[in-house]
Each structure stands twice: as C-alpha cells, then as structure tokens.
C-alpha cells in the first residue's frame, strides 16, 4: 500500500484529499507544517509527497528545495497559485514532478498520484552506479546523472535538479565557454525561450554551494558578454 505524505494546512481540503486517497487504498500521513513534513519524510517510508505552497511556517518551495537535496521522492505541488513563474520555479527550478492548482478535482489528483507512482516504479536502481570523476589538481568532482547528484571533496553539493544539470554539463565540458542560451537548453533538455536571467540566478546558487564546500577555489568564471566557464 503506497504511503502518501500530504502537507496541507487547510483542514477541509486535507480531509477531502485524504478521503479520496484512502478510498483508493492509499495510506495517507498528514501534517500542516513544512518543518514537520521534512521530519516525517526523514523518519518514515514515504512514496510520494503532496505539497501545498502556502504553509504557516515555511514556504512549500523551501520544503521542496530541502527535499531535493537528499531525496528523489515524487512531489506534486498543490497550490492556489497559477502564475507561470511559480509553475516554472516548482517544476523546473526546484524539481517538482507535477503541479496542481486549486480548486482541484480529487479524482484527477488521485489519477496524477497513480501516474507519478508508476513512473517511480520503472526507474532503475542506481544506488550502486559508479560515479565518474573529473579532477582539479588533488580535488575531484564526482557525478551521477541518475541520482541527480554531484560531490566535491566527497561531499554532496546542495543543488536543485536544474542547477545539478548545469553543473554536470560544465564539469563534463570544462575549460570552455558556455553561453546562457546553451545552458538554458541543457537545463531543459531542449531549446527554450525562458529568460536568460534564470541562468544568472542558477549560477549564483551553484557558486554559493561550491564555496560552502571549498571556499579557497573559484570554479566558475564569468566571461562578460560570452557566458560561463568551469576551470579545471
């Protein structure tokens, strides 16, 4: 029986969703605080997270960002926000698997939960994958695309899925210039019309994450008017 973690502070909505899921033989664990959700996710086997954005303690986006640092559990965002920027941030910037706006149909939500669980079932077990290594003197980047994970000095670099794609590409193609437009296509796995300022933000986050692990080295160079380069 799949275990669903529902993070929703509206009791009426939470009760409606819980009833629909339990009627379809799902086990549902509920909480109304983001920090409680993170604690519960770490302590019990959760197969999928239904995550509201407007939580009383911390933003659901912050909850998702923290989840993606350690877990690839499927996450479906549930929110009253329908702005394009919020959708892009949730799905592409932070690595949500789906996005449902309120008011929602419980039957549609259950169908989407089932679809995400089916996708999770067919994912290969990559826990024993050999990591590829690119060295910088005595330093090393270790990457694993299947786990969406990069290590520096043996420590996991805390990045969103989109940022991980960008850094992986730069590590695999060091000492060359990558334009913002090209990095956008890398992030989306296809050409995209998204704004190039998105890359500026992601590069800044990547630099901060690398600096936390290795404050003595500046890995990414900004070549004004051209793009970015990872120097190895």
- The pTM assigned to this predicted structure is 0.55
Whose CA is closest to 94, among 103, 102, 85?
85
Class of domain 132-230: mainly alpha
**pLDDT tens sequence across 34-87:** 999 999 887 778 899 999 988 999 988 889 888 887 787 888 888 776 555 555
Q: At what angle do helices 161-172 and 180-188 cross, to 10 degrees?
A: 120
Of the ranges 55-64, 78-87, 133-142, 173-182, which is most confident?
55-64
Domain positions in the chain are 3-121, 132-230
Number of H helices, E strands in the chain: 8, 11
Assigned CATH topology for domain 3-121: Rossmann fold (3.40.50)
Q: Is the CB of residue 211 less than 8 Å from the CB of residue 153?
A: no
Instruction: Label the pairing between strands 27-31 and 3-7.
Output: parallel
Whose CA is closest to 96, among 86, 111, 105?
86
Residue of higher predicted confidence among 170 and 118: 170
Q: Is the predicted pLDDT of residue 147 greater than 90, yes or no?
A: no
Two structure tokens written together for 64: 């998702």
Residue of higher predicted confidence among 72 and 200: 200
**pLDDT tens sequence across 90-129:** 555 567 778 788 887 888 888 889 888 887 664 444 444 5
Query: Bridge-partner residues for 100, per DSSP?
Result: 78
pLDDT at 134: 54
């Amino acid at each position: 029986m799949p275990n669903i973690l529902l993070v929703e502070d509206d009791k009426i909505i939470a009760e409606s969703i819980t009833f629909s899921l339990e009627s379809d033989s799902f086990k549902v664990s509920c909480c109304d605080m983001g920090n409680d959700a993170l604690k519960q996710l770490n302590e019990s086997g959760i197969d999928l997270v239904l995550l509201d954005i407007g939580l009383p303690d911390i933003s659901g986006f912050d909850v998702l960002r923290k989840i993606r640092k350690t877990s690839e559990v499927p996450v479906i965002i549930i929110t009253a926000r329908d702005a394009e920027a919020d959708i892009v941030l949730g799905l592409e910037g932070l690595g949500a698997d789906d996005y449902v706006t309120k008011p929602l149909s419980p039957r549609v939500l259950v169908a989407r939960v089932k679809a995400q669980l089916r996708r999770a079932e067919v994912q290969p077990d990559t826990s024993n994958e050999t990591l590829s290594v690119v060295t910088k003197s005595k330093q090393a980047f270790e990457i694993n695309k299947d786990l969406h994970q990069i290590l520096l000095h043996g420590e996991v670099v805390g990045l969103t899925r989109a940022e991980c794609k960008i850094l992986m590409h730069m590590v695999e193609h060091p000492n060359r210039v990558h334009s913002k437009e090209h990095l956008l296509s890398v992030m989306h796995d296809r050409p995209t019309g998204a704004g190039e300022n998105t890359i500026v933000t992601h590069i800044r986050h990547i630099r901060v994450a690398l600096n936390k692990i290795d404050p003595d080295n500046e890995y990414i160079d900004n070549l004004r008017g051209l793009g970015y380069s990872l120097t190895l």
